[in-house]
Amino acid sequence: MFLAAFLPIMLMQQAPADDIDWDKEFGVEEVERDPVTGELPVEPYVQANANAGATPFAGDTMAARFGGQNGIRQIANRFVDLNFSDPRIRTIFAAHDEVRFRRTIFEQFCYILNAGCNYSGRDMESSHSGLGTRKADLNALVENLQQAMREEGVPFAAQNRFLAKLAPMSADVIDR
Ligand code: HEM
C-alpha cells in the first residue's frame, strides 16, 4: 500500500541518468589535450637525453643507413601503427597517448642514431613501470620494429646494430 502510493512520486524525483554528471559523481578529472601538440599532459619530470636509455652512435653512418630524419620518421610512425594494431600487444597500448608516443619514439630513435635530435621523453624505467609487460610482449614489439625497418630498406646489419643498442633496456621495460 505504502509503496503503491509513493513509488510513482519517488521515481519522478529521481533525475534521469542522462542528466547526471558521472565524472563529477565519481571524482573523475577531465584531462584535455594540448591545443598545439595534441598531447595529453604527463606528470612533471626532468628532461634529459640520458632518459633515452642509450648513448648515440658516433658519426653519421647509422643515420644515413636509416634514411636520415625522414626515414626515421617513417620507421617510427610505422612502428607505432603496428604496435597499436598488433593483437598481441595492442591492449597494453590502448589506454596510452598515441600522439605523445609517436613524437617521443621518433626523438629517441633519432637521438640514438645520431641524426640530429634531442630526446625530451621520460626514462624507460618510469615510463614502463606498471604496464605489466612480459618478455613475449617485448618480442612482439621488436618484431614490429624489425618489420618497420625492413619496409624502409634499412640494411640488415644496421638493423641489428640498432637493436643491440636497445637490448640493454629490456630490464627497464619488462615488468615480469
Ligand atoms: C627496448 C624496448 C622499448 C623502447 C626503446 C621503448 C620506448 C618507449 C618510449 C620512448 C616511450 C615514451 C616515454 C614518454 O612518454 O615519455 C615509451 C612509452 C611506452 N611504451 Fe615503450 N619501449 C620499449 C618497450 C615497450 C614494450 C615491450 C611495451 C609493451 C608491449 C611498451 C609499451 C609502452 C607504452 C604503453 C608506453 C606509453 C606509456 C605512457 O604513456 O605512460 N614499450 N616506450
**pLDDT tens over the chain, length 176 residues:** 555 666 555 555 666 677 888 888 898 877 899 999 999 999 999 999 999 999 999 999 999 999 999 999 999 999 999 999 999 999 999 999 999 999 999 999 999 999 999 999 999 999 999 999 999 999 999 999 999 999 999 999 999 999 999 999 999 999 97
Structure-block grid coordinates of residue 11? 521515481
Q: What is the pLDDT of residue 29?
A: 78
Please give the mean pLDDT across all residues of the chain: 93
Q: What is the pLDDT of residue 5?
A: 60
Q: For residue 126, report the distance from its CA to the centre of ligand 1, in Å.
A: 10
Pocket of ligand 1 (CB under 6 A): 89, 92-93, 96-97, 100-101, 104-105, 108, 121-122, 127-128, 131, 133, 137-138, 141, 166, 169, 173
Q: For residue 150, report the distance from its CA to the centre of ligand 1, in Å.
A: 21
* DSSP symbols for 85-119: H-TTTHHHHHTS-HHHHHHHHHHHHHHHTTSS---
Site of grid cell 594540448: 34
Closest ligand 1 atom to the C-alpha of 174? Answer: 27
Q: For residue 80, report the distance from its CA to the centre of ligand 1, in Å.
A: 10
Q: What is the pLDDT of residue 15?
A: 61
Q: What is the pLDDT of residue 103?
A: 98
Domain boundaries, given as residue ranges, for the chain: 56-173
Contact, 107 vs 119, CB < 8 A?
A: yes
Residue nearest atom 25 in ligand 1 by C-alpha distance: 173
Handedness of CA 148, 119, 132, 84 (dihedral sign): negative
Q: Which residues contact 55 (CB under 8 A, 6 or more apart)?
A: 112
The CATH architecture one would assign to domain 56-173 is: Orthogonal Bundle (1.10)
pTM of the predicted protein model: 0.89
